[in-house]
Structure 1
Amino acid sequence: MQAFYQPYYLELKHPFSIARFSRTGTPIMLLKISHNGVDGYGEASMVPYMGESVETAEAFLKKVDWNRFVYPFNFQEVIAYLDGIDGGHPAIKAAIDIALNDINGKLVGKPCYEIYGAAPAKMPLTSYTIGIDSPEVIREKAADAVQLGFKVLKIKLGRDNDKELINTIREVSDLPLYIDANQGWTDKAKAIDIIYWLHDQGALLIEQPMDKSNIEGNAWLTGRSPIPLLADEAVQRLADMDSLKGVYHGINVKLMKCCGMYEAHQMILKAKSFGMKVLIGCMSETSCATQAGIALAPLCDWADLDGPWLTKNNPFAAPEMAEGRYVLNQLPGLGLTGISEGLFTS
């Protein structure tokens, strides 16, 4: 087994702002693993606030004994081995997991979604994310979403102009909304008021209303909210799940936080066992990691997998979409297309 990797800087169409910071792009590590003549592709999206970088990804990859991964892959053992190297670095671990899942699908001749039991007919709508910005740029982003065929908008809130942002959206679009407060609300009384107002504005869910450490505040809101409230920053990996029951209505699963497809699937199953709903989300990603998320999306209630549509230099073909939903192809593995071998160096 051989591994090839290539750092890549993913440029965003617009500066991306949330409650706590702003950025114009994301460092990526693209990964190709070759096993018995079959290539699998993976990706680590290393958004700055998660603490990973090209340098940490390279250092981690150099510690991996690729001969440890013997087909048929035991993904539980794969993740345990990677965690044994270092307890952090979830994004580069996700790249390895995704690439091995791609190989696995190609070797058995099945799409990853079929292997994980996801039915194409249950694909949810996916949202288009609009970060905190000026009214002019917000209108431009909303118009872009409509032109691309999206049927849901995801809006970043959490500052003191939340209502102004929503009113600006409503000037140009009546699409339903997913809301991400990014821990930006601090007063639970004010938060429940705006939650009811957002419900009247067509919001279908809200991610991480208050600081992840404010368990009492988030649980108080969950007990009173007319729409589902989801843990985002409060949940990264499977081990976080037990502390969330009763605090939120559901969770946001992101492959870059939970080390890839295998653990994401385990989190989805556990959430269902708790009676919780699931949004599958993403970071700023190319089509590679997005295809991995798409494979699990039919198992979830909602999807926010818009990475390729928010960037200017996606190095792969964009996934197919129709009427706001991704269309799963029949290709084995991830179903990734438009791959340029020139991306990778040893």
Structure 2
Amino acid sequence: MKLRLKPYDLQLRHAFTLAESSRTITPSMLIEIEFDGIVGYGEASMPPYLGESYETATRFLESLDLGQFSDPFRLDEILEYVDGVATGNCAAKASVDIALHDLLGKIMQKPWYKIWGFKAEDTPDSSLTIGIDSDDVVRQKVKEAEGFNILKVKLGRESDKQMIETIRSMTDVPLSVDINQGWKDRVQALETTWWLEEMGVIFVEQPMPKELVDDIAWLTQKSPLPIIADEGIQRLKDLKRVQGVYSGINIKLMKCTGMREAHKMLTLARALDMKVMIGCMTETSCAVTAAAQLAPKVDWADLDGNLLISNDPFTGMQITDGKVSLIDQPGIGIKLR
């Protein structure tokens, strides 16, 4: 197996503003793994808060010796090797995982959702993200979101209620909110969740800093809305630790090293009777379409990362009438433009 890599800056359509940061570009590493003339595509999206960069991803990926494996179907063995080469580097590891899944699916001539036994018609609606911004820009973003059946609103600042009221002046579609750890006081957080329920919000993502475990557990117990972990969970090993602290989890390939571990997290979360959301970073259609292979088995999807950029080099998963629409193509289901 041969691995090739290429740095690629994702250009965002709007400034992406969260509770604690804002950016207009997300660095990404696009990779190819070739075996017997067949190429699998992968991606590492690296928003700054993940702690990865072109430098770290290049160093990690160039340290791999995939040539030692003569059979790409030994997926567990290969990915266990990749995971053990160095700690961290989860997005870089995810790029290898995605490319291997794409490669194997192409060899088998099957899309991964079918290999896993999932049905394309079982996919949920996907939300479209509305970042923190001025009233005028928020209204523009809501107009651009026409056709989506749920919107995800970034909150975590003093403008929270104004953001929701501005959106509600234009649409009555259900909302989810992502606080990105922005709330600090649990009593005020609880009061806000009751208000958000009245405003048609259906769940709250990562309301408080992940370190405030007792406060989050208290909020989850008393909240009228499900409380979903994002920054509070990363990999499979973290899942049992957050049981009882959150109502559910947001699985992202860039956090958990890719499709193989994401599938395991989905299975365990269901066994623990927890809600499951499949999410993404700002990504090309490569990583978003890879994540979408899990969509038929989740409660909620937030697979809009490719729609937030202006220079997507791939085509893949689509949002049709607000719903995740999987493509019956081998591998993860993407093509180069």
TM-score relative to the length of structure 2: 0.98
Q: Tell which deviates more after alignment, 174-183 or 322-331.
A: 322-331
Counterpart contact for 2:289–2:316, Cα < 8 Å = no
Query: Which residue is 1:120 aligned to?
Result: 120
- 1:131 is aligned to 131
Q: What secondary structure sits across from 2:232 in the alignment? A: coil
Q: Secondary structure at the match of 1:7?
A: strand
TM-superposition CA deviations, 1:119-166 (whole Å, max 9, x none): 1121010000011111111111111011xx211100011111210110
Distance apart, 1:318 and its partner CA: 5.1
Q: Which amino acid aligns with 1:95?
A: S
Superposed displacement of residue 14, structure 1? 0.4
Match of 1:301, as an amino acid? D
- Report the equivalent of 2:86: 86
Give the equivalent residue in structure 1 for 2:26.
26
Give the aligned partner of residue 265 of structure 2.
267
Distance 2:278 2:227 in 1: 14
Give the one of 238, 244, 251 matched to 2:236.
238
User: What runs of 5+ residues in structure 1 fail to find an aligned partner?
Assistant: 341-346
Within 2, Cα distance between the matches of 1:253 and 1:78?
22
1:169 partnered with 2:157: no
Q: Could you report, residue by residue, the CA deviation over 1:241-281 in whole angstroms, capped at 9, with x for unpaired residues? A: 11111101100000000000000000001100100010100
Q: What is the aligned length?
A: 337
Tell me which residue corresponds to 1:287. 285
Give the alignment partner of residue 214 of structure 1, picking from 184, 187, 212. Answer: 212
Structure 2 partner of 1:51: 51
Letter in 2 for 1:63: S
Q: Is the 1:79–1:259 Cα contact (8 Å) retained in structure 2?
A: no
Residue aligning to 1:192: 190
The runs of 5 or more residues in structure 2 that have no matched partner are: none
- Select between 247-256 and 67-76 the one with higher mean Cα deviation: 67-76
Which residue matches 2:312?
Answer: 314
Asked if the contact 1:308–1:318 (Cα under 8 Å) also holds between the matched residues in 2, the reply is: no
2:72, 2:100 within 8 Å by CA — same for their partners in 1?
no
Separation of aligned partners in 2, 1:143 and 1:74: 47
Structure 1 residue 229 and structure 2 residue 227: aligned? Answer: yes
User: C-alpha displacement at 1:83, in angstroms?
Assistant: 2.2
Aligned mates of 2:185, 2:168 — CA distance in 1: 25
Q: CA deviation at 1:5?
A: 1.2
Large movers: runs of 4+ above 3 Å: none
Moved more, 81-90 or 315-324: 315-324
Task: Pick closer, same or farther for the CA change 1:238–1:113 going to 2, 3 Å.
Answer: same
Distance 1:247 1:316, change over 3 A: same
Distance in 2 (alpha carbons) for counterparts of 1:69 and 1:336: 25
Which SS does the other structure have where 1:57 is aligned? helix
Equivalent-residue separation in structure 1 for 2:103 and 2:331 (angstroms) = 6
Aligned to 2:274: 276
Can you list the C-alpha shifts for 1:157-192, whole angstroms capped at 9, x where unaligned? 111121011001111111111110111111111101
Question: Hey, what's the Cα distance between the residues in 2 that align with 1:248 and 1:68?
Answer: 42
Q: 2:314 is paired with a residue of what secondary structure?
A: coil
Distance 2:93 2:260 in 1: 11
Residues 254 and 282 in structure 1, CA contact (< 8 A), matched pair in contact too: yes
Give the alignment's Cα RMSD to 1 decimal: 1.1
Q: 8 Å contact 2:292–2:317 — kept in the other structure? A: no
Residue 96 of structure 1: aligned partner: 96
Identity %: 49
Q: 2:152, 2:141 → 1: CA distance? A: 11
Check the 8 A contact 2:177/2:204 in 1, yes or no: yes
Name the SS for the 1:172 alignment partner.
Answer: coil
Aligned partner of 1:344 in structure 2 is none
Q: Equivalent residue for 1:343? A: none
- The Cα shift of 1:72 comes to 4.7
CA distance in 1, matches of 2:306, 2:174: 21
